[in-house]
Amino acid sequence: MTSTMTPVLFPKLAEARWAYTDLAAEAKADPHVAGASPNPLNDPAFCETWVMADARRKRADYTYGGYMEPRDHLWRGHYHDPTVMRHTAVDYNVPAGTLVVAPAGGTVLCVVRDNSYGGWGGGVFIALDTSYLGAGYYIMAHLAHRGLPSPGDRLERGEAVGLIGEPHENGVWFPHLHLQCFDQVVHDRFAPKLDEMDGYGPNDELVNPHMPDPTGLGAGLHR
């Protein structure tokens, strides 16, 4: 089923068909990966092919989803602590090299170029001009390292932020954009080292009020 929550994040994919997906559920339902050892989804090339096949089954060009998914099975064998595997963001599963733009106006707080396994890759932390569902900040991550803005830069809605990164520069993930919102409580906990924040939280969902669902932000519903 295609989605009405079409993201504004990718202007060059404006005509694409989008579908919501729950990758955690899909992994458990797929007999080719559900019990496989080692977990083939930890190979970014295999995972990208698998994610693209999921989109085709949904009659879409690209998929998005993942907010508050418990991903302990999806990424089993990865470095994550399996008790802290609830995904606090939305992933937009698009190819490496895809242009990404800001979904709302704001100011760049921090830019990282993280090469670590499972890390942010290219990441841009942004303070929103107006809060979104109680959150004043968001991060766009797993970007290429080139062409990123600098701390202090102003970003208007629709202004280029960067490109989706290849696995060697995006944290060794399959290509996708990680969009995550967070509030002042989370900001103050990690500032000035915002990059020490993670994209996963405790499985009890207590982190949820501090990191609201960014789907509406990604769809351009916030001004």
Provide the whole-model pTM: 0.95
Mean pLDDT of the chain: 94
CATH number of the domain that residue 116 is part of:
2.70.70.10
Does residue 2 form part of some domain?
A: no
Does residue 46 form part of some domain?
A: yes
Does residue 112 form part of some domain?
A: yes
User: Measuring CA to CA, which residue among 211, 219, 212, 150 is closest to residue 10?
Assistant: 219
Does residue 6 form part of some domain?
A: no
Does residue 149 form part of some domain?
A: yes
Domain hosting 27: range is 11-218
How much of the chain, in percent, has pLDDT values that exceed 90? 87
Does residue 206 form part of some domain?
A: yes
Task: Give how many domains the chain has, as a whole number.
Answer: 1
Does residue 58 form part of some domain?
A: yes
pLDDT in tens, 61-72: 999 999 999 999
Contact 100, 140 (CB under 8 A): yes
| Structure tokens belonging to residue 210 | 């501090």
